[in-house]
């Protein structure tokens, strides 16, 4: 059995003691005997070391040595050890999590077969370019491509729909697709079958594939469900199969603007759209295409363009297909936030590593006498290094393990919360490579901080090295670490402050509507009511009833609410010009009282009134007033309105504040509001401003809606506040995360600085004692010590500020309302960090020098 | 007057000492001193790296036991491989001595 270090020590001790006992028998005194035995034996550390070499280097020793060292360390300075491990956990954990997210979302290929041949198809139409860079496709285009495109291996339509499932309380979300869909996503049914090539279109039989989740929750995973009939919106539908459990499906606006998919899909149904009869300017479907192997995007795009050309000519609208690689389409919104967070995590890890390195440097410097004695006694250089490295490596290992566990928990939580700006979250798993890389930064830094001084140290004569005040190279190393920590934390804090400013401005700016106490309801008239007049009547009756409910302050309805995007995009112009010459703007139908309920300020004129019925009237936004009627009073003037192909004129009766229609961060569009009695579809969005208990009121409202023969499912109720929260979620996540990382970095850096200063002071305690005995005041001594400790911080602050400013410049186009005038923010942040650093260091210095000179002199 | 042992011979001496029966490290030392009638001196600590080296090579094996004075001590004994090695090295040594004698012309004296 090959011995451990402990066993070796025991064996050597046994030898020396046995020898001493023999010598005692020969007449030596016990002391003499022991001394002689030791002399005869030779250097114990040397033979232990040679013994270790002879028996081969072993992990068990390192582990045992590290454990012993670490337990001594924990025992002596538990707070220091805990802070080290906590900061390491934080730094490594954050870096692992963010790098895993970046890898899993941005780099890993999509989980579809031949994912590099998949493209999202959008339409670029120059007349719409000012409002939409691209549009969804028409089913009509897809049918043409399906029949004629030779470079396309498969092409599918995708649409979202919501159904009520008989016997199921909540509504179910469905995707409506064409049969190529299953080939494109590479999915086969886990039970039953997918769709056959002819099973779509208006005459197709009603079939459905269940999601794994719905199959388990609603049908107890019963395989006999295949072929059974369920009722969707009361229509019998046969279950063809069950989807595999891990099939990534689009959600949110992942397939481009104006195509909004729910977060989870319960069913896939064959599309029943009559694609050949569909209007080629009806832009409301998503389409995915899989190109043939070897087909170039450019060639496919131009072939698809040629196929689309006759449709575009007949529709008199210029339009071209745009093929966007599916991977970049899905991940486009995540690039900037993830890169930003990755940089922030890297900076935090840098601060943590620099700090940890400094701590280890201080500990090695503190033990320089032990080291000198050990090496004088014959310990080999390798032995010294292993001894010196064991503690930092053990701390890093503990920190790294804790970091892995925390990162797993954080990733789970994140997947459950599912922030919309992070696509593909269920596909992300922690990346061991990223973890090892993250853990190696503090490990390597600490190792360098141990190795560099020790290497230089071991070259010095033991007799000389015992008298060294500091380790060779120690000062330069410590200063560069302090510099690194200061610059990285200031840079991170500066960027976080800029993000915070941008987010605060986004949340406090007036976007043209209020949010307080404002609930929104999406109410649909039943499918059997097809007459617009009847729908109008139903909605008008409901609105009146809602207005009379106790607690309701104001109520109004509109065909779309702020931030919900466009339904009507038409030119806005005076009657004189040729129609379609005017700039495109958003048209909305609203009830009277809408502006008061929405909190959109009336700038001139008046709201719609009942007396306007039968007349063509309009209310325009300030931008319309300024851009279409510059320098004139728009009230009473006419504006062109298109209705079912005929051109009519509406008289402007009011001007209201600009309001954001789609993106909260982009400029409010040109907007024209028309009274809702001019058009009424089945859907209307209600705005209810209320006071008192909202939950109770909503229950009353649901009763009224039901009494009126309409439906109001819970998922169609939202507060305006929540809509704004959703619209600003991506920026909020980025800001909160970056700010949290920055705070952690600054705190860590300050803690590290305090540690370094305290250590420096404790080492100079004799010098301080002499200075103070010679009459230096406490203040002078403190100033001297502070100057030395803070010296490397200043260049760090400068470099960090410069970094933050350049980062702000790079980020500026993607920030909300932040410009050159805000250059003071990183400066102010740096000043705050400097203040924090100075006060931390000052506290540490004053605490340390609060000693009597006589005591200080005795300390050596 | 004791004399330092020749380099490279310590391993052979240890194998020889251990071949005479199970011994702890200090016992091995005493046995070597006894074998040489106290003529050889080795720095005692040097014994242990040599013991570990031989153990790593598989020529001796060890186990913890109790010494004469009732203390825990580690005892070494020769393995089969060690016995073979001892034979081989002893032969080598004799051959070397014979050759050296021949070369130095001391055989006839």
Give me the phi and psi of A15, to 5 degrees please.
Answer: -60, -50
Does A12 sit within 8 Å of B45, measured CB to CB?
A: yes
The mean pLDDT value for A804-830 works out to: 91
Does A56 sit within 8 Å of B56, measured CB to CB?
A: yes
Residues A596 and A681 in one domain: yes
Distances (CA, A) of A125 to A141, A277, A316, A479, A595: 14, 21, 11, 59, 33
> A710, A743, A774: which is the final residue of a domain?
A710
Compute chain B's Rg from CA coordinates. Answer: 15
Residues A247 and A309 in one domain: yes
Residues A503 and A358 in one domain: yes
Compute the mean pLDDT over every residue in chain A, rounded to the nearest whole number. 87
Q: How far is CA A373 from the centre of its chain?
A: 53
d(CA A291, CA A285): 19
**B46 touches A at CB < 8 Å:** yes
Dihedral sign (CA A579, A582, A588, A589): negative
Residue B39 lies in a domain: yes
**B49 touches A at CB < 8 Å:** yes
Residue B35 lies in a domain: yes
Q: Beta A717-719 vs A235-242: how paired, if at all?
A: unpaired
> Among A358-362, A425-429, A848-852, where is mean pLDDT lowest?
A848-852
> A268, A284, A318: which is the final residue of a domain?
A318
Q: In B, which residues are within 8 Å of A17 by CB distance?
A: 71
Residue B38 lies in a domain: yes
pLDDT band at A446 (very low <50, low <70, confident <90, very high): very high
Residue A28 domain boundaries: 5-56
Residues A773 and A829 in one domain: yes
Residue A468 lies in a domain: yes
d(CA B3, CA B49): 21
Give me the phi and psi of A727, to 5 degrees please.
Answer: -70, -25
**B77 touches A at CB < 8 Å:** no
Residue B26 lies in a domain: yes
d(CA A509, CA A494): 22
Residue B66 domain boundaries: 3-104
Nearest-CB residue to B26 (from A10, A19, A47): A19
Residues A531 and A500 in one domain: no
**B56 touches A at CB < 8 Å:** yes
Query: A209 and A251 in contact (C-beta within 8 Å)?
Result: no
pLDDT at A330: 92
Residues A442 and A492 in one domain: yes
Total structural domains in chain B? 1
Residue A618 above 50 pLDDT?
yes
pLDDT at A194: 92
Residues A548 and A501 in one domain: no
Q: Residue B100's domain is classified under what CATH number?
A: 1.10.10.10
Residue B109 lies in a domain: no
The mean pLDDT value for A307-312 works out to: 95
Structure-derived torsion over alpha carbons of residues A159, A162, A165, A168, reported in degrees to the nearest 10: 130
Total structural domains in chain A? 4
Residues A353 and A494 in one domain: yes
Residue A670 lies in a domain: yes
Query: A219 and A172 in contact (C-beta within 8 Å)?
Result: no
Q: How far is CA B96 from the centre of its chain?
A: 18
**B66 touches A at CB < 8 Å:** no
d(CA A692, CA A152): 58
pLDDT band at A378 (very low <50, low <70, confident <90, very high): low
Does B49 sit within 8 Å of A47, measured CB to CB?
A: yes
> A318, A352, A375: which is the final residue of a domain?
A318
Task: Chain A: give the shortest CA distance to residue B2, in Å.
Answer: 13
- In chain A, the percentage of residues whose pLDDT exceeds 70 is 93
The mean pLDDT value for A138-145 works out to: 95
Tens of pLDDT, residues B50-67: 998 898 888 999 999 888
Tens of pLDDT, residues A99-129: 999 999 999 999 999 999 999 999 999 988 8
**A45 touches B at CB < 8 Å:** no
Tens of pLDDT, residues B30-39: 888 888 887 7
ipTM for the complex shown: 0.92
Residues A500 and A585 in one domain: no
Residues A485 and A531 in one domain: no
Spell out, as residue ranges, where chain B has pLDDT lower than 70.
Answer: 1-4, 106-109
Q: Beta A584-590 vs A671-675: how paired, if at all?
A: parallel
**A20 touches B at CB < 8 Å:** no
The listed range with the strongest mean pLDDT (A57-71, A363-377, A565-579) is A565-579
Residues A682 and A768 in one domain: no
Nearest-CB residue to A3 (from B24, B52, B73): B52
Q: How far is CA A151 from the centre of its chain?
A: 37
Query: A108 and A116 in contact (C-beta within 8 Å)?
Result: no
Residue A420 lies in a domain: yes
Task: Chain B: give the shortest CA distance to residue A475, in Å.
Answer: 39
Which residue do the tokens 């940890």 mark?
Answer: A356
């Amino acid at each position: 059995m090959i011995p451990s270090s402990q066993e070796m020590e025991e064996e050597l001790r046994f030898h020396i003691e046995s020898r001493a006992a023999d010598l005692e028998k020969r007449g030596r005194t016990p002391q003499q005997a022991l001394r002689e035995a030791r002399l005869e034996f030779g250097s114990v550390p040397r033979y232990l070391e040679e013994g270790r070499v002879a028996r081969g280097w072993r992990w068990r020793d390192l582990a045992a040595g590290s454990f012993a060292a670490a337990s001594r360390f924990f025992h002596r300075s538990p707070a220091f050890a805990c802070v080290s491990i906590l900061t390491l956990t934080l730094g490594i954990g954050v870096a692992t999590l963010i790098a895993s997210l970046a890898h899993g979302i941005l780099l890993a290929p999509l989980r579809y077969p031949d994912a590099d041949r998949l493209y999202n198809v959008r339409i670029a139409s120059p007349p719409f370019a000012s409002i939409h860079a691209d549009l969804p496709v028409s089913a009509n285009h897809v049918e043409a491509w399906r029949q004629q495109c030779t470079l396309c291996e498969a092409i599918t339509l995708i649409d979202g729909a919501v159904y009520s499932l008989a016997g199921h309380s909540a509504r179910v979300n469905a995707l409506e697709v064409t049969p190529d869909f299953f080939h494109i996503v590479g999915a086969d049914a886990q039970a039953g079958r997918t769709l056959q090539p002819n099973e779509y279109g208006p005459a197709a039989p009603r079939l459905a594939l269940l999601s794994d989740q719905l199959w388990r929750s609603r049908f107890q995973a019963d395989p006999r469900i295949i072929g059974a009939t369920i009722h969707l919106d009361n229509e019998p539908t046969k279950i063809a199969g069950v989807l595999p459990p891990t099939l990534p499906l689009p959600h949110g606006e992942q397939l481009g603007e104006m195509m909004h998919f729910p977060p989870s899909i319960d069913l896939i149904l064959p599309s029943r759209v009559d694609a050949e009869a569909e209007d080629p300017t009806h832009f409301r479907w998503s389409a995915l295409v899989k190109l043939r192997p070897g087909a170039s995007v450019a060639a496919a795009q131009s072939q698809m363009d040629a196929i689309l050309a006759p449709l575009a000519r007949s529709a008199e609208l210029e339009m071209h297909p745009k093929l966007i690689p599916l991977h970049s389409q899905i991940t486009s919104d995540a690039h900037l936030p993830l890169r930003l967070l990755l940089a922030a995590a890297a900076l935090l890890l840098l601060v943590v590593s620099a700090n940890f390195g400094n701590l280890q440097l201080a500990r090695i410097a503190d033990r320089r006498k032990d080291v000198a004695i050990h090496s004088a006694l014959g310990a080999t250089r390798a032995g010294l290094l292993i001894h010196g490295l064991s503690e930092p490596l053990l701390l890093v290992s503990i920190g790294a393990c804790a970091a892995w566990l925390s990162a797993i928990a954080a990733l789970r939580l994140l997947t459950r919360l599912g922030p919309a700006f992070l696509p593909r979250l269920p596909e992300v798993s922690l990346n061991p490579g990223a973890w090892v890389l993250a853990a190696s930064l503090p490990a390597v830094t600490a190792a360098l901080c141990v190795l560099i001084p020790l290497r230089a140290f071991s070259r010095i004569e033991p007799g000389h090295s015992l008298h060294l005040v500091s380790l060779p190279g120690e000062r330069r190393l410590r200063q560069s670490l302090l510099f690194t920590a200061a610059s990285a934390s200031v840079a991170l804090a500066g960027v976080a402050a800029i993000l915070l400013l941008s987010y605060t401005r986004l949340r406090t700016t007036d976007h043209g509507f209020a949010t307080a106490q404002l609930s929104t309801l999406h109410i649909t008239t039943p499918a059997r009511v097809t007459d617009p007049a009847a729908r109008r009547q139903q909605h008008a009756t409901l609105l009146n009833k809602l207005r009379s409910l106790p607690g309701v302050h104001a109520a109004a309805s509109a065909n779309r609410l702020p931030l919900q995007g466009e339904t009507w995009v038409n030119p806005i112009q005076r009657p004189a010009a040729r129609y379609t010459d005017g700039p495109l703007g958003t048209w909305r139908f609203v009830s009277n009282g809408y502006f008061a309920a929405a909190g959109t300020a009336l700038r001139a004129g008046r709201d719609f009134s009942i007396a306007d019925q039968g007349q063509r009237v309009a209310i325009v936004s300030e931008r319309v007033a300024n851009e279409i009627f510059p320098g004139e009073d728009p009230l009473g003037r006419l504006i062109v309105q298109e209705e079912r192909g005929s051109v009519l004129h509406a008289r402007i009766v009011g001007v209201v504040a600009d309001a954001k229609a789609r993106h909260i961060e982009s400029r409010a569009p040109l907007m024209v509001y028309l009274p809702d009695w001019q058009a009424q579809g089945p859907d209307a969005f209600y705005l209810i401003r209320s006071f008192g208990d909202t939950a109770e009121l909503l229950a009353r409202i649901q009763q009224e809606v039901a009494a009126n023969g309409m439906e109001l499912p819970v998922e169609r109720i939202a507060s305006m506040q929540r809509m704004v929260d959703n619209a600003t979620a991506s920026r909020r996540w980025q800001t909160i995360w970056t700010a949290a990382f920055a705070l952690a970095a600054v705190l860590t850096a300050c803690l590290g600085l305090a540690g370094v200063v305290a250590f420096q002071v404790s080492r100079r305690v004799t010098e301080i004692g002499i200075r103070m005995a010679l009459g230096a005041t406490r203040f002078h001594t403190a100033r001297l010590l502070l100057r030395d400790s803070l010296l490397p911080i200043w260049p760090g602050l400068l470099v960090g500020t410069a970094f933050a400013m350049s980062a702000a410049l790079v980020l500026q186009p993607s920030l909300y309302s932040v410009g050159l005038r805000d250059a003071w923010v990183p400066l102010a942040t740096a000043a705050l960090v400097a203040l924090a650093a100075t006060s931390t260091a000052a506290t540490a210095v004053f605490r340390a020098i609060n000693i009597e000179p006589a005591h200080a002199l005795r300390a050596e | 007057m004791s004399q330092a042992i020749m380099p490279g011979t310590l391993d052979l001496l240890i194998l020889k000492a251990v071949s005479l029966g199970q011994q702890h490290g200090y016992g091995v030392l005493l046995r070597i001193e006894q074998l040489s009638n106290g003529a050889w001196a080795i720095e005692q600590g040097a014994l242990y790296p040599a013991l570990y080296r031989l153990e790593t090579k598989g020529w001796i094996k060890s186990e913890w036991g109790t010494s004469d004075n009732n203390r825990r001590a580690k005892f070494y004994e020769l393995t089969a491989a060690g016995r073979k090695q001892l034979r081989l090295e002893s032969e080598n040594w004799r051959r070397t001595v014979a050759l050296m004698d021949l070369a130095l012309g001391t055989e006839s004296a």
